[in-house]
Structure 1
Amino acid sequence: MAGDDMHLRAVSHILRLKATVSAFIGDLSIKIKLLLCFITFSTVFVSSVGIISYSKSSNTINRQSLIYSDSILKQVIDRIEKLKYEVMNISIPFVLNPSIQKNDFQTLEYIQFIQRKRAIEAEFSTIMMFKKDIGSIYMCVEPDMIFSPNNFGSRDEMNYKNYLVYRNCIGSVSVPVWTSVHENEFSSDESRNVLTFSRSLYDNDEFQPFGSLIINIPVQVLKETCKINASSTNYNIFIIDKKGNTVFNSLGKKGSENIPRGYLNHVVTVKETESTFRYKADGRNYLVEFIHSKDREWIYIAEVPIDYLMENSTQVKSYIITILLAALIVSFAAAYLISAYFTGPLRKMIKTMHLVEMGDFQVKTGIGNRSEIGLLSQSFDHMIEEIRNLIYKLGVEHEEKRKEELNTLQAQITPHFLYNSLNAIKCMARIQKVSGIEEMTTSLIELLQMSISKRTVYITISEEIALTRKYILLQNFRYGNKFSVIYEYDEDVLKSLTIKMVLQPLLENSLFHGVDASNGNAVIRIRVYRKQETVYMEVEDNGVGMTEEQIHRVLNEDNGRKRRFSGIGIKNVNERIRMHFGERYGLTFRSEPGKYTVAIITLPAVEEMEVRQNV
């Protein structure tokens, strides 16, 4: 019993002590709590890091070795792939040059041939002047012509078709070929060991090769490219192709020697596109890393001696201990400063959040520093402002939508009345066999149907042009065929979609404000064409033209309220296009007063199926 009493008293004492400590901590200020938390965390964290860092320093060195090896290899890959990319881009203008693709060198007059040859060689010289990595450029054209600013002999002109680099690219017409480092087959070339890029020249009509473009990169350029820093002699770089053949060997004097490594077969056959392993060669242990190129044609290999990577491990351990002790001291001081710094802004932010929660969106935190809390408070202020603007914008949009709906309902009354009346006139004209009136009312009815239709938003350009023709028919009746309209369009754009009634307002603007349709000299051109992914519709007249001020007024004033036929003003056309297709599309004008005006509509080149998928 005595033992049980003592046990109960001990438990009771512990519980009271726990309650006292909890009450004490709870009564502390936020600043003291943060200070205690930071000190505790810093002590535990720094001590743990020190112990783990010291005991695991070897692992740290290994990881650094991997990072170093990976960094070297990836920098080499970036440089060589960039060099390959630049050479590829240099070749494209020549291979696709129409004057070269014509392959008419043998039929040219002597002077013309010399001029063409000098022009091509001048371009090669300019490229080599600005791109120092290129050692030589040759353009070989069958049967026996060579264009190059570099040295070559008559033997080269006679025998180049037997050269390896020429045979490689002729056998692969559409794909450029990289030939691994080899002895330069052009005997007079100063660069004796080169990496060669070659691609065939082909006739554009028959797609038959008639020569090749050969670009040589000296092996010394590759060796310089592989030098990442002053310690570049402490690692080796190898490049092999997917069959294991040597492309480049940094150890060799020529750069083309076979690589004396037993792991090459493993690198070629393994499924991984990049990996790291250890290998012993020449009495030294190496950390080996390989990475496949993006096109999987080449494999880049880096060898870094492990003893070089580990030589500073002892010094690193000493640095770790010193830095951790200093960090522990600094962390105590930083804990005090940070706790004091954070208290004020936190309280201010909490107060602001409570006000926003109560519905006050006019408040701001007022914290303007660039710390994390400062940025957070600025983001919070920005969010409050966005909410306030959104509420205002929603109210404005709701009011505008309500007004627009009322205007739409009111605007449909007259077209429906006219539509019914015109049908009656059409029937009467047909009975009395007045074909002109019947044709005119039919066109007007169809235009009114499209104008008042709610269901049709998108129509094809073909349908839009058809509506345009009906509108022109009406105006020709009015003006007695004294103006002419010329249509110019590509058949392949007729299936592209547009929103309805975009050309009619532009034609109306030309007839009523641009040209004098009664004098018989007025000409209006309607062009529709496509450039890449954009469709252009143009309405050009030879009328009075417009000044920049008039163009600005037409695009920005709601001139649709001065209704003539469709009630759709120029501004409305521009806004509807942007609303349906985005801000990059719309309506622009080009004009010269007294001469002409061109209205230009830009639309995305989309067809009906694409619109159905996205609307």
Structure 2
Amino acid sequence: MSLRRVFSRAGGAIGSLRMERKLFLVFLVLISLPLSFIGYITYSNYSASIEEKTTVFSATMQEAMMARIDDYIEDMIRISSIPAYQDDIKQNLIRSNRYYERMGEAQGDDESTFIPEDFNLLLSIQRGIEDNVSFINMIKRGSNTVYVFDQYGNGYYSTVSGNIRLDIKESYEFWSEQLEASSGEEMIFGTQKYISNLQSEKFAFTVARKVIDKSLQPIGLIAVDANVSVVEDGIGELDTATKGSSIIFDEAGTVIYDSTGERTAAGIGDDPVIKRAKGIKGSFYEKLDGVNRLYIYSTSSKTGWKIMTAIPESELTRDAVIIRRVTWIATIVTLLVALLLSFILSYALTNPLRRMTKLMRNVQEGDFAVQFPVKYRDEVGQLGNQFNRMIVRIDQLIRDIYEMETKKKEAELQALQNQINPHFMYNTLETIRMTAEINDDTDAADMIAILGRLLRYSISDLHEEVTLSDEAGHVRHYVELLNYRYPGRFALTVDIPEHMTRYAMIKLALQPIVENAIYHGLDETKQVMHIRIAAETRGHEAVVTIRDDGIGMNEEELERLNRSLAGLDGAGKIRNEKGGGIGLRNINERLKLHYGAGYGIQASSRPGEGAEITILLPAGKGRQS
């Protein structure tokens, strides 16, 4: 079904409603649409404002959080550089390297030779390094443990918390391997999970670097572990404020800290959410596990670590949903009150119209003594005044028309009495014809005889129905008379099937069409103009065509003719022609009045090829013989 048809049906349904219902519907639309629009705009703007403010607030807190982490890591980097300025640490590392170097050489030369360890020397080295490590631990509280290793991987550390890695040897090998190409620069390692000497599971991220002597040769390695608990407070504040969860991860996709505790130290580089976090900072929506979340992220300029906060959309829109509910409740209450008032108002406005409608029904039944009581000078009051004047005027016009019709009938009766008797005209033509034959003027006699037949056929009642064969005979007489004036100029062919010869149709439908074809379509370059009348039945229609081989019509002339047949002028307006004359338009109107609007005349033509007039009539109109 087309959109135009839908609107047409909707318009028809609305148009058939009573006036008070139309007004009620108008009030409903005028009230509900603005209120709904305002509610929608309010909710949308509020939701967008909350999202924008949450994004800005979260990004600000993230940047502050990352700045704190950067400061902490900067302190760890400074701590890791202390051995470069502490001669005691470097001297003890050199002593440790020499001691274990000698032990290695002695055992390598003769495996059967056993050199006992110098516990006093080892104790002196250990105390010297661990005292300095204890001092370093006091400089920056919150760092979990500081490890110092000599070139042979022997570790020295001191801690009050007892959180010493059990896998210290493996950790040293990993750090040493990663620092192989380093010349003393620090390296930051992401969070690792380890088991402490207290048999508890711990997480820590590490800053490590080589310890270099004065000759720029590596003499050991220092590693500073920072427990991830140092970021818990800041992340907790961020998650509390945003009602979300946060995660910190490095450039390799290793999780530094996860506020949910599920993915700390895990590799999440393949996570699609992590892949979308491109650039320094930004935000995006992602649906995960059936929950749509807003992800906001920022990047540390120092470490390249990213902090990402995931906020469920339901948390973002919680306040907006409350506002929406309050808005809709207020809208519905306002709408109900407004509709009640509009119902009362529409009834009050249409009550005078209903009274006027009742009075009109009385007038329709012939009672012209009614009067509409005018109380106010508004539009209804003015309409009432005009209604009262109209009733008086109609009553007067009816009286005038009755008087005019009486006089008209008297005039028509007088005209009929004064009209020349058609029989007198026929008898006069017959006398002229007889005189022509007596004088041996046969052509004149024949012409007068044909003219008499045409005149007798034409003057009789136009409302009379004749057969298609009678109409064709009338056309033959007309063409025969023309050929007396223009010998051999017109050739008429009639092709009517036997079953259609008795077809009943209105009188004088074909001859004016042939006359019009001769008058307007005569081609002076041709010696003979051929005219063909044919008839056939097509389904439920009887079709009569009159075709000529005259000059034809161009597209503009044809369009003008068809518009005239449709009762339209050149501007597409209905024409209102008065006057006599039987033309194509007159025939078309007679056919439509007699048979219905679906029947009548259609024209087609091409320049130089003649014209064709098609008459569409209902089938099954045969006259009983």
Query: TM (normalized to structure 2)?
Result: 0.37
Give 1 or 2 for the bigger CA radius of gyration: 2
Give the TM-score taking structure 1 as reference length: 0.38
